[in-house]
């Protein structure tokens, strides 16, 4: 069941048309599904992989290095400053249980790639994809944590299994 906190509301989002063309357009607010919250996007870092979408276009709103604030009045996470972990995951398959949520065996979806992403005012995010960001990290640096720390963290975790 999908629930939208702002029925019939409009927001702005970047539309990647392809052919090196991007426009900012008025689009419908996204639906928020069960187990998800609405995040008001504060910053989304530009990634080198977005260059491909600039050339080829994107079916969904792009943007996968997202920082924002949960905007879901009445929800226990309302007001939470968070980075968005983009691989959706089930939390109970073998890969998720061993901490490899990016390799979930049950869910194959990435925020900003094959579902709406952060080049918009709002994005629906599964609760288990929210990474709290401490108040002492400024908004402009927060989305960079996803790439610089996330990539390095995965590398260290992988190597620690292989090298004694």
Q: What percent of the chain has pLDDT over 90?
A: 72
Tell me: the pLDDT tens digits for 19-43? Answer: 999 999 999 999 999 999 999 999 9
Instruction: State in words which class domain 2-162 has.
Output: alpha beta
3-state helix, strand, coil in the chain (%, to 5): 25, 30, 45
Report which of 38, 27, 42 is spatially closest to residue 4, judged by C-alpha positions: 38
Q: What is the pTM of this model?
A: 0.84
The 10s digit of each residue's pLDDT in 33-87 is: 999 999 999 999 988 888 899 999 999 999 999 999 999 999 999 999 999 999 9
């Amino acid at each position: 069941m999908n629930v939208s906190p702002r029925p019939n509301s409009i927001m702005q989002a970047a539309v990647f048309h392809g052919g090196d063309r991007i426009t900012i357009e008025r689009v419908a607010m996204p639906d928020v599904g069960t187990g998800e919250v609405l995040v008001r996007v504060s910053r989304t870092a530009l990634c080198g992989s977005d260059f491909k979408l600039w050339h080829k276009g994107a079916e969904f709103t792009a943007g996968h290095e997202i920082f924002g604030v949960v905007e879901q009045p009445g929800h226990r996470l309302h007001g939470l400053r968070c980075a968005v972990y983009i691989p959706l995951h089930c939390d109970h398959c073998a890969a998720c249980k061993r901490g490899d949520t990016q390799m979930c065996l049950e869910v194959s979806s990435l925020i900003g790639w094959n579902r709406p992403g952060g080049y918009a005012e709002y994005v629906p995010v599964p609760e288990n994809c929210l990474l709290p960001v401490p108040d002492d990290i400024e908004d402009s640096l927060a989305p960079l944590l996803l790439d610089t720390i996330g990539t390095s963290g995965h590398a260290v975790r992988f190597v620690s299994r292989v090298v004694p």
